Chains A and B, each alone.
Chain A
Amino acid sequence: MKDLFAVIMLSGIYGLLSASFFVAMDAVDVAFTEASVGAGISTLLMLAAITMTGRSEHPVRHKPVLALAVVIVTGSLLIYGTLDMPYFGSAEAPVHQHVAPRYINDSMQEVGVPNIVTSVLASYRGFDTFGEVVVIFTAGMGVLALLSVVRHPKGVAGDIEEIDSLNKSMHEEHLILRIVAKMLIPFILLFALYVQFHGDYGPGGGFQAGVIFAAAIILYTMLFGMSTARRVINQSLIQLFAAIGVLVYGSVGVISLLEGKHFLDYSALSADPVAGQHLGILLIELGVGITVASVMVIIFFNFAGRKDDQQNKENNES
């Protein structure tokens, strides 16, 4: 396949198919995340990248026989390795024996939250989630370091004139899309808030909510232009928010330390341990949601801003 556009679309379809597979495997939280992240954001970022790197692939000049041989050998070794594994869906598999029954049985008394995945993610394995938030933050900073463009301020009056003329010229072309988007974006944001705070009772939680929130902002940016979006969403404010999310997560842990218990032990947050767990989970999911939303917006703005900058340079030279 030479056309990278088709390749990226197919990988988006692959992500969506795997999300439906996850639903069939009873992994509803994972399916939600994979559908929003894998089929949504990932496809979007790849499309943004190929607008800058070129749409088709140069033809390969030699036949990759060695690669095929390596792949076949590795594949057969792996299949040989799986002959010992437990059957699909068996309840006596070792993975279901030691820690998982304790999580399933004791989660209601110790944490008091119906969604076991959220209680494990936020309370029993809170350290891993902290590391994950820091990884997302680092990725955002990395993209910022690689792709950010220095804005040359042209003065307030010149900027606004240029934005208004751009808006008028684009208005006719995208009229229906703009009107529908204006109707829908508040509902998308509301849905993101719903997913964020109902992560305790159904599938959802911080990551999915952050991604949906960022998707609403990206929709606005795509339809109304980068310059309008920059006026609505201040770049430095979003960077501040990304840091604030990580800070909220860390400070919940530090408060537990200051109360005399372990780092990220939520029972230190309130007199009743279960209420402390609820409060702790609420706060850290909020931190996660804020960071994920801001980092996704930062990454998209940098990809789109780089493209704008390249086009401006070409227009100035020619």
Chain B
Amino acid sequence: MDSLLNISSALFLLIGSFLCISGGVGILRFPDFYTRMHAAGVTDTLATAMILIGLMLQNPDGLVILKLMMILLMTLIISPTASHALASAAVHNNLMPELDKKEDNEKVTSSNP
């Protein structure tokens, strides 16, 4: 039982760290604002959730699991909201996604800052 907990928590932590790193690489390498924000959102939400679940399995003590679960719940509610806020602020300021450029070539402004 103990080794099963250890192995699964190690698995979750590894997946979480891999998602963090790939999110970081994505922020640097994606071509467009909106795709970069998707990478940042993955880092914020999914990687954090994986790491928190890994930590929960690491330490099966009641109070600690409760606190980590509350942090997980807060993160799952807050960080998609933050991504939404960024995206709607960008749309509000007329920063259009790059795919739009193929259809309307005259109207939209470029999205590469």
Contact = CB atoms under 8 A, between A and B. Distances in A.
Chains A and B bind each other: yes
Contact of B88 (A173, A183, A184): A173
Task: Give chain A's interface secondary structure class.
Answer: helix
Nearest to B84: A176
B107 interface: no
B102 interface: no
A187 B71 CA distance: 12
B81 interface: yes
Task: Give chain B's interface secondary structure class.
Answer: helix
Contacts of A174: 88
Interface residues of B, number: 8
Contacts of B92: 173
A180 B75 CA distance: 12
Interface residues of A, number: 8
B85 interface: yes
A184 B84 contact: no
Nearest to A176: B84
Interface string B59-86: 0000000000000001001100100110
A184 B85 contact: no
B19 to A, nearest CB: 19
A180 B88 contact: no
A184 B70 CA distance: 12
A184 B79 CA distance: 12
**What 4 pairs between A and B have smallest CB-CB spacing?**
A180-B81, A176-B84, A177-B85, A180-B77
